[in-house]
Each structure stands twice: as C-alpha cells, then as structure tokens.
Amino acid sequence: MTATEPLSSDSFPSEGAASSDYDFRAYANDPDRIADFSRSNEEMTSLISTVEDNADAIYTWRYDKGERAALDRLYEKAKTSQWNGQTDLDWSTDVDLDKVLAPADPAEVAYFAENPASPLHKLNEDEWHDVAIESMNWSLCQFLHGEQGALLCTAKIVETVPWIDAKYYAATQVVDEARHVEVFAQYLDQKLDGIKYPVNTHLEALLDDILEDSRWDMTYLGMQIMVEGLALAAFGFMHMTTEEPLLKKLLRYVMSDEARHVAFGVLSLQEVYQELTAAELRDRQEFAFEAALRMRDRFMRQEVWERMGVPVKDMVKYSLEMPDELRVFQKLLFSKIVPNCKKLGLLDAGDGWLRDRFTDIGVIEFEDWVDTGEEYADLDEVAKDREMAEG
C-alpha cells in the first residue's frame, strides 16, 4: 500500500494472524511509501477539491439536554470560552520574522549539516535561514489546511452523531474551526508573505479518508483523537519555542479550543468502544496506526525540500535514520495521541496490536501521560485571561 491509498484493514495481517510475520517497523519507515507523491499536486491548481461524503444524516427526536453529563459540561464550557480573532488578537503588532522562527536544536542541525551523506551538507548560512523561513511558512500552512479539514469533519459529526448533547457540542466546534481557519489564514497573509504551500499529501489523504468513511465514530477517531491530538501537541511545541507575541497568543487561544475538541472525542468514544466487538476494535486500531503514520510522515516537510531543490526521497531516508535522541519533536507529536488511545482501550484491545505498533514507531513511552479528557480545563487560556482581567 502506498502512502496515498485509502486506509484499509486489508493492509495488515488479519486478527489472529501472526503479526510477527509482517515487518511493521519496515513498513512504517519505508522511504518509498513516505516519499510517494503520486497524487500530490495534480489538483492543487484548482481552488476547489471535492470529496464524497458517504454518511447518513441522522435526526434525533430526543432532546433531553444533559443525558450525557460529561458532554453537556463540555458544551457549557465551550459557550463561555469563545474568543474573537479580530478583537482578541492585536493585528497591528509588527512581526519580527526572526522571532517567529523556533530556535534550531544544535545537535539536529549538526546531524544534517556536518555529515557528507546528508542532502543538506552543502547548505550555507543564508540557505539554512531560508530553510527555517520556508519550514515555518509550511508548518502554518499545514495547520491552516488541517483546520479546514477539521471544520468539514466536525460539521459531519453534527450531521451523523445520534446524540443531542454531542450535536450541541459539535456545533460549537464548527464555530471554533472556522475561527482557526480565519486566524491562521490572516496571519499567513498579513505577516508571513502569504500562503505558499498546498495541503501535504499525507494530511490530505487522511482527511479525505475520514470524510469518506460512513461510520460516525471513525470521524471522531480520525479527527478528534488523531488529527486534533497531534495538532494540540504541535501547537504546544510551537507556542513553547516561538518568541513572536502575536503568534504566541494566537496559538495559546487555539490550544484552549483544541483541548476541548480532543476531550470531546475521548468522552464520546469511551461509551461507544465499550460496545464494539474484537473485530471492530481491531479495525479501529489499524485505522489509528495508519493515521498516526500519515500524521508523522507529513512533518517530514516533503514540499519544502521539493521547493528548495533538495532530493525528497534522500531527505526522507536521512530523516528516518536520525538517532532517537534527536527525535524530540517527532516523538512529542504523539504525547496526546498515545494516552488518549489508551483511555479509549485501543492500546490493549484484543492482543494489544496497537501497543505493539506504537512500540514499533517508538512512541509508547507516552502511554501514561495525562489524557486530554482530564486536562482540557487546564488549557482554557480564554478563561484564564478573563479571570486575570477581572482580578
């Protein structure tokens, strides 16, 4: 299976088959799979992209608000935590591009700059600065595209989830996602010389698969747990490392929303997954693993290397060979996903298939970190700002 083919349980050994006969680590780290651009940019010249939504729209005539108390509390929290990107962010702020850029890890730079086998070995100081600028624009572009994907997926949840409390909350998330698209697009347009990069191949394929799946719980799993979980970790890392005040506040506000979004997935799927069969849970495990690979693979910045004339496959291969001690960012991306999958019972369902796969890609160490179902209130920066203003 290539990186751009639909997620399918046919990709892996069936439940009960000997997983040891299949080299998942080799599959996960196959440069040919990751560097596949077979459908990368054929439709990028068009302003419109169409994906088939195969789900049924579900009405519920049961309007008992608060039947699912945890979702009702989340809904009430969302109503009081709304912010306005035009009035709560100071768009008159002058942006110093060098403050936007995260400081590079000297050891990681040395790995790419000092080894003659590295595709970046011959870059001079100005070219390294260009890499940093392009990488930041690329990252924010992917955040923007991912937020539009979240906008569509959450609208689909409103349409397909059968519970009124979930429909109420998901409607507030649609508003959140529209605001995120707005502020990321505005920041790129006004502060970073425009939106330079199309949606990454791996991210687009994952978003398409989530939208195309007819099962409403898979929309939750793909978007609320996998995409939003990784985004929350990525936003947190960028917020921690950037020194640019407008971007820092923008990210802080977005993170307060994203934490609720992931909690929404955790609280909803806990109930659903208690009722699934072993075969159904295995299907969700395989989906989660393939989604995790696509989310990891998109951060290899293939579009940046292509724009800068660096051989993409060579760069992917060299990145995959990076020593574990230099993979801090890559691993931290999973710091929300792994504990949330554990909370849902997906890590150890059946024969622990997903635990083994997360072990294969080196991220199982996060399993006991706090899950987002418990931490979202701590990340409510809007509420904290209001408390400070009133105090």
Between 115 and 184, whose confidence is greater?
184
For residues 294 and 6, the answer to whether their CB atoms sit within 8 Å is no
Residue 19 inside a domain? The answer is no
What's the pLDDT band for 218 if we cut at 50, 70, 90? Answer: very high
Domain-embedded: residue 66: no
Q: What is the pLDDT of residue 17?
A: 47
CA distance 161 to 159: 6
pLDDT value at 10 more than 90 = no
Q: Helix, strand, coil shares of the chain as percentages rounded to 5?
A: 65, 0, 35
pLDDT reading at 30 higher than 90: no
What whole-number distance in Å separates Cα of residue 54 and Cα of residue 107? 47
Q: What is the mean pLDDT of residues 281-308?
A: 92
Chain centroid offset of residue 84 CA: 23
Nearest to 136 by CA among 170, 91, 106, 102: 102
Backbone angles phi, psi at 368, to 5 degrees: -100, 10
- Return the pLDDT at 138: 95
Q: Tokens at residue 135, please? A: 């990488």
Q: pLDDT value at position 48?
A: 82
Higher pLDDT, 156 or 54: 156
Residue 252 included in any domain:
yes
Report d(CA 124, CA 140) in Å as an integer.
Answer: 25
Percent of the chain at pLDDT exceeding 70: 87
- Find how far residue 264's CA is from the centre of its chain: 15
- The distance in angstroms from the start CA to the end CA of the chain is 57
Q: What is the CA radius of gyration of the chain?
A: 21
On whether residue 119 sits in a domain, the answer given is: yes
Arithmetic mean of pLDDT over the chain: 87
Residue 14 pLDDT > 60: no
Residues 6 or more apart whose CB falls under 8 angstroms from that of 220 comprise 157, 161, 265, 268, 269, 272
Query: Is 232 buried (19+), middle (13-18) or exposed (0-12) by CB count in 10 A?
Result: buried
Q: Which residue has the higher pLDDT, 296 or 184?
A: 184
pLDDT of residue 276: 95
Is the pLDDT assigned to residue 273 strictly greater than 70? yes
Q: Report the C-alpha gap between 183 and 54 in whole angstroms.
A: 30
Question: Is the model's pLDDT at 38 over the cut of 60?
Answer: no
**pLDDT tens by residue, 57-100:** 999 999 999 999 999 999 999 999 999 999 999 999 999 988 99
The total of structural domains in the chain comes to 1
pLDDT of residue 107: 87
Query: Which value, to the nearest 10 degrees, does the dihedral of the CA atoms of residues 60, 63, 67, 69 take?
Result: 100
In a domain, 216, yes or no: yes
Domain that residue 280 falls in: 103-390
String of DSSP letters for 294-306: HHHHHTT-HHHHH
Provide the pLDDT for residue 373.
59
> What integer pLDDT is reported at residue 8 of this predicted model?
47
Of the two residues 91 and 122, the one the predictor is more confident about is 91
| DSSP assignment letter at 11 | G
Q: How high is the pLDDT of residue 39?
A: 45
8-state DSSP, 6? P
Which single residue is written with the structure tokens 């955040």?
A: 143
Looking at residue 192, its pLDDT comes to 93
| Separation of alpha carbons 170 and 152, rounded Å | 11
Sort 200 into a burial class: Cβ within 10 Å, 0-12 / 13-18 / 19+: buried
Please report whether residue 187 resides in a domain: yes
Measured distance CA(185)–CA(194) in Å, rounded: 8
- Which has more pLDDT, 102 or 173? 173
Distance CA 354, CA 107 (A): 31
Q: Domain with 225 in it: what CATH number?
A: 1.20.1260.10
Identify the DSSP state of 73: H
Question: Is the pLDDT confidence value at 386 over 60?
Answer: no
pTM of the model: 0.89
11 inside domain: no
Residue 254 lies in a domain: yes
Q: Is the pLDDT of residue 384 over 80?
A: no
Residue 352: left if φ>0, alpha if ψ -120 to 50, beta else—which one?
Answer: left
Q: Would you state the pLDDT for residue 249?
A: 96
Reported as a single tens digit per residue, the pLDDT across 317-374 is 999 888 888 777 778 888 889 999 999 999 999 999 999 999 998 899 999 987 765 6
